[in-house]
Structure 1
Amino acid sequence: MDLALLRTFVTVHRAGSFTRAAALLGLSQPAVTSQIRTLERQVGRPLFLRRPRGVTPTTMGDELAHKAAPHLDALVEIAETGLDEDSSLRTLHLAGPPEFTAERALPALTDLCGEDGQGLTLRASFGTAEEVLEGLAAGHHDLAISTARPRGALLTTTPLCDEEHVLVAAPRWAGRIDTGRLRRDGAAALEDLPVMEVHESLPLVSRYWAAVFDSRPAASGTVVVPDLRAVLACAIAGAGLAVLPRYLCAAALERGEVVAPHEPTVPPLRTYVLVVRAGTLAMPHVARAHDRLLGAAAEWC
């Protein structure tokens, strides 16, 4: 059985689409279709059921993928290890949310780069969870950091760390909050205060309000800017309330530039995951970065 046909088959099985598999393989969609038909003729059974949107494997297709995929991944690992040893530099394309990627992920990976590193150059992209997962699935990135878990067999996830969220405000705004009423009435005590966020939908504020106050925020955002570092800067400048990751605002809290007017017994958490395309951890440069981030995350939690 032709290994090239098996490689195409496994890619289609993981991608769930001839079109997406073609993009990942650098082939045309008709070429992928032709290879799958050739393989189906060789095995004498259909391997996929064609659907209006993509394909789903038959029982035979699942069985063949289960048998073939580990061996193909092992061959990729052997080939990539040789390439890694022969090449002075390999490039890792990383994607994730701007704040977490800039403040935590990139510093953790820098010792893999440069003259004293392990032959790695790094290219980073920022985006929403949806954007980075779509880019990873399309082959634009090698490794993604996300707060959303993808569906399907193409992308696989590993839990990375939990992020604690904190309600913060500049001292002049915090001083206007009746803490007794806040404990008694919850979010009603905050209705008249301006709120800052990264999106009009108020994702962090809404999550905090739901988890801590069992309610929804009453007002729209006074300042909306798609970077939590900018939200923190606005909070320090006195623009209003914000919900921020503790790692991002810890220094400002310690310096008294912002305060936490409410500390719930169980703070809201958001979980980050590392995401790769199935089989790509066989590539040494991807595996090294993946392992380095997992090791660093043990100290972040």
Structure 2
Amino acid sequence: MRNRTPKVTETETGTVPGGAGRLPAHADLNLLRTFLAVYRSGSFTAAAPQLGLSQPTVTAQIRTLEQQGGRELFTRLPRGVEPTPPAHELAARVSAPLDALAALEGGDPSAGRTAPVHLAGPSELLCVRVLPALAPLVAGGLRLRVAQGLTEPLLEELRTGRHDLVITTRRPRGRALESVPLADEEYVLVASPAWADRVGAGARAGDLCAALRDVPLITYAEDLPIARRYWRTVLGRQLTASAAVTVPNLYAVLSAVNAGAGYSVLPHSLCQEHLDAGRLVRLHDPEEPPLNTLFLVQRPGADADPEVLRVRDRLRAAASAW
């Protein structure tokens, strides 16, 4: 369904704070809705069916808005578009009011939002926990757009309105963003059965750290943050090993360890299936395993969107069993 909201008729010119360009106050709200749909979907093509418009019409509306404001809002890429700094500033200003207006208008659920619910978080958690938990909502008609990344960049994008909900590995600083603890993730020290047999024999003769000295360490970052924390909090030692392999994806770390490349410290949820099947073995079973708290962070103004609230409540309910 096409947007049918009438134009605002004031003739004065307003300025978007922070240098986002000058936007006439008589600009059609439909242009802003089109802008927000493109901003959130990252593509003129993806935004078009959400708005009930053709792709050339979306392109023309964005061009008109850019001409009115005197600033480029999107950098055209081979696949999709990248928001410019003025676009981030404009999204932060208009996303909450437009979402609130859409909620007040009601009607067809697919026409009540300019875009689907935008959710982001760590890629492995999204695959293992989040998407399965949201499957019933998707089957019932929820439209969802998912992004993956690290906590700091995702929180910054949330502040500019690009995401509705973000799952993070730490609580955001300050009070500007609303967050709630979602779940505690356990980390486990694991290796293939062959390495486990070798390490077990060495550990019985001395200690675990010495037994692991000659075993390759597989990790997702050169500074070994997860492994170092495990050594410090569980083993009471400083980790002196260096990584044999670093790869910035925990699935890739899991794949390498599962294939017998060495050992690693991984989230239990990620390797639970492999542990249950005997393809991986715990090298250590501490009385108090290290835990990392996950937080669900909500975009300011998202309370006005019932679809965002549905996703938030579903995740909080599902996380109690994680």
TM-score (norm 1): 0.70
1:83: how far off? Answer: 3.9
Counterpart position of 2:228: 206
Equivalences for 1:156-167 in 2 at 5 Å?
A: 156-167=178-189
Asked if 1:193 is matched to 2:215, the reply is yes
Question: In the alignment, is the contact (CA less than 8 A) between 1:153 and 1:278 conserved in 2?
Answer: no
Counterpart position of 1:110: 135
Q: Considering Cα pairs closer than 8 Å and 6+ residues apart, tell me whether 1 or 2 has the greater RCO.
A: 1
Equivalences for 1:142-153 in 2 at 5 Å?
A: 142-153=164-175
CA-based RMSD of the aligned residues comes to: 2.6
Question: In the alignment, is the contact (CA less than 8 A) between 2:121 and 2:147 conserved in 1?
Answer: yes
Change beyond 3 A, Cα 1:83–1:211:
farther
> Could you say what secondary structure the match of 1:95 adopts?
strand
Structure 1: how far apart are the matches of 2:231 and 2:19? 50
Question: In the alignment, is the contact (CA less than 8 A) between 1:165 and 1:269 conserved in 2?
Answer: yes
> Could you say what secondary structure the match of 1:108 adopts?
helix
Counterpart position of 1:49: none
Counterpart position of 1:27: 16
Counterpart position of 2:196: 174
Fraction of identical pairs, as percent: 45
Counterpart position of 2:64: none
Counterpart position of 1:226: 248
Asked if 1:292 is matched to 2:317, the reply is no
Q: Which runs of 5+ in 2 are unaligned?
A: 1-14, 22-95
User: CA deviation digits over 1:217-244, x for unaligned, max 9?
Assistant: 2122112112212111111100100111
Structure 1: how far apart are the matches of 2:97 and 2:156? 26
Counterpart position of 1:93: 118
Structure 2: how far apart are the matches of 1:83 and 1:139? 21
Question: In the alignment, is the contact (CA less than 8 A) between 2:202 and 2:211 conserved in 1?
Answer: no
Change beyond 3 A, Cα 1:106–1:162:
same
Equivalences for 1:12-91 in 2 at 5 Å?
A: 27-29=16-18, 79-88=101-110, 90=113, 91=116
Question: In the alignment, is the contact (CA less than 8 A) between 2:202 and 2:208 conserved in 1?
Answer: no
Structure 2: how far apart are the matches of 1:295 and 1:181? 41
User: CA deviation digits over 1:174-225, x for unaligned, max 9?
Assistant: 1111467469644233222111111111121111111111122212211211
Structure 2: how far apart are the matches of 1:30 and 1:286? 30
Asked if 1:121 is matched to 2:121, the reply is no
Structure 2: how far apart are the matches of 1:255 and 1:155? 41
> Could you say what secondary structure the match of 1:175 adopts?
helix
Aligned length: 231
> Could you say what secondary structure the match of 1:220 adopts?
coil
AA in 1 matched with 2:299: R
Change beyond 3 A, Cα 1:81–1:182:
farther
1:270: how far off? Answer: 0.7
Q: 1:215 aligns with which of 237, 259, 272?
A: 237
Change beyond 3 A, Cα 1:183–1:28:
farther
> Could you say what secondary structure the match of 2:223 adopts?
coil
Asked if 1:279 is matched to 2:301, the reply is yes
Question: In the alignment, is the contact (CA less than 8 A) between 1:182 and 1:190 conserved in 2?
Answer: no
AA in 2 matched with 1:101: L
TM-score (norm 2): 0.65
1:264: how far off? Answer: 0.5
Question: In the alignment, is the contact (CA less than 8 A) between 1:165 and 1:268 conserved in 2?
Answer: yes
1:84: how far off? Answer: 4.7
Moved over 6 A (4+): 74-78
Structure ranking higher in helix proportion:
1
Question: In the alignment, is the contact (CA less than 8 A) between 1:76 and 1:283 conserved in 2?
Answer: no
